[in-house]
Every structure is written in structure tokens, then in C-alpha cells.
């Protein structure tokens, strides 16, 4: 288990369509553990494997208040309603935009024990599930914005990154609270 390097917007792996994992083996379990370590260090609520450089269909969602969801080869099988709310992404720090998402989803996923299950999620948890599954298809939240809004945010992103090279972020452990 370890904190991994985060890939930021501009890194090609974020635009890859990730491959399905053939089975839940030690490699996948380690990947899930690394996702949790890295997401917690960054104080995020979800993370997809390609954000740490592994283009496989594995992601996690943990909004804190409800049980975490491990997504392995996830498929959304039900969607209901629409909510527009602000969204961000650990791979595009400090950039936020309003995105329409289904208010409720049911997602089929494989558990760490290898069982195929259906998990229901609503509100923020549903939003995060959809955001992470987008990652597995090489889609980022800014792709859902109007062309004008997207251009504006990407301009801001470029400005904020001025002088920085590369698209990798070394993640430091989160400070321990007393």
C-alpha cells in the first residue's frame, strides 16, 4: 500500500479508455489500497486508477458520510433524475464547474471478494460514481461544460500552471489530526 503520483490534466493516461480487469487478484487489491491511500492524502472523495497512472477499470468513491464504494469493471444500469451541481477533480486542482448528473444511479460492480453486486447511490455519492466512471472512459468533468465555460476554465488552468512543467504531482501524506 502506498501513496502514488497523481496525473494531472495534460497527462495522456487521463484520456485513455481503461481496460477491464480480468479478475480480482493481488494486483487489483493493491491498486484499490493505493487509490484509498492517495485519495485520502489528497482529501478527495473519489479517485480512478488512471489518475495514478494505471489504465484499468478500477476506481473508488468515498464521500465520508456513507459506505465507500469500490468500483471494479463498473457499469451503470439505472439512472434517475438530474441534478446540476459544482464539481472538481484532483487531476485539475482548483478548477470547478457545474455539471448535470443523474440524481440516482444503480451501478454494477465487482467487490474485492470477486462478487458481482449492484450498489445504489444518490446525490453526491451518485455524482461521484458517475465522475469516476467517466475517468475510466477518458472523460473529464470539463468535457461536460459548454465550450465557452470550458475554454474559460482551461485558460485559468494554464495561467495557474505557468512555469510548471510536466503533468505529475507528488502527493504528500495528509497531516495527522490531533
Pick the stretch among 33-41, 86-94, 113-121, 169-177 that binds Ni ion (CB under 5 A).
86-94
Tell me the backbone φ, ψ of residue 109, rounded to 5 degrees.
-145, 165
Smaller CB separation from Ni ion, 17 or 116: 17
DSSP 98-151: EEEE-SEEEEEEE-TTS-EEEEEEEHHHHHHHHHHHHHHTT--GGGGS-HHHHH
Least distance (Å) from Ni ion to the CB of residue 59? 9
Its sign, for the CA torsion 161, 166, 167, 168, is negative
Smaller CB separation from Ni ion, 25 or 100: 100
Which residue is it, cell 464547474?
A: 97
72 binds Ni ion (CB under 5 A): no
Least distance (Å) from Ni ion to the CB of residue 115? 26
Smaller CB separation from Ni ion, 89 or 171: 89
28 binds Ni ion (CB under 5 A): no
89 binds Ni ion (CB under 5 A): yes
Residue 109 CB neighbours (<10 A): 22
Who contacts 38 (Cβ-Cβ below 8 Å, separation ≥6)?
Answer: 3, 4, 6, 47, 52, 171
Least distance (Å) from Ni ion to the CB of residue 26? 26
Smaller CB separation from Ni ion, 52 or 89: 89
Interaction mask 103-132, Ni ion, x per CB under 5 A: ------------------------------
Active site residue 87: no
Q: With 0-12 CB in 10 A as exposed, 13-18 as middle and 19+ as buried, what is 129?
A: buried
Q: Which residues are catalytic?
A: 132
- Residues near Ni ion (CB under 5 A): 89
Amino acid at each position: 500500500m502506498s501513496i502514488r503520483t497523481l496525473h494531472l490534466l495534460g497527462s495522456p493516461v487521463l484520456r485513455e479508455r481503461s481496460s477491464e480487469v480480468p479478475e480480482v487478484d493481488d494486483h487489483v487489491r493493491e491498486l484499490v489500497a493505493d487509490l484509498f491511500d492517495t485519495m485520502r492524502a489528497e482529501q478527495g472523495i473519489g479517485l480512478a486508477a488512471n489518475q495514478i497512472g494505471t489504465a484499468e477499470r478500477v476506481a473508488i468513491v468515498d464521500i465520508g458520510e456513507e459506505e465507500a464504494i469500490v468500483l471494479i469493471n463498473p457499469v451503470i444500469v439505472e439512472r434517475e433524475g438530474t441534478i446540476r451541481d459544482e464539481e472538481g477533480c484532483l487531476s485539475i486542482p482548483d478548477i470547478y464547474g457545474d455539471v448535470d448528473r443523474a440524481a440516482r444511479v444503480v451501478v454494477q460492480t465487482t467487490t474485492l471478494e470477486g462478487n458481482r453486486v449492484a450498489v445504489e447511490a444518490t446525490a453526491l455519492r451518485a455524482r461521484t460514481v458517475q465522475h469516476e466512471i467517466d475517468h475510466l472512459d477518458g472523460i473529464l468533468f470539463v468535457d461536460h461544460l459548454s465550450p465557452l465555460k470550458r475554454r474559460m476554465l482551461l485558460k485559468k488552468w494554464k495561467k495557474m500552471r505557468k512555469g510548471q512543467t510536466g503533468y505529475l504531482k507528488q502527493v504528500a501524506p495528509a497531516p495527522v489530526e490531533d
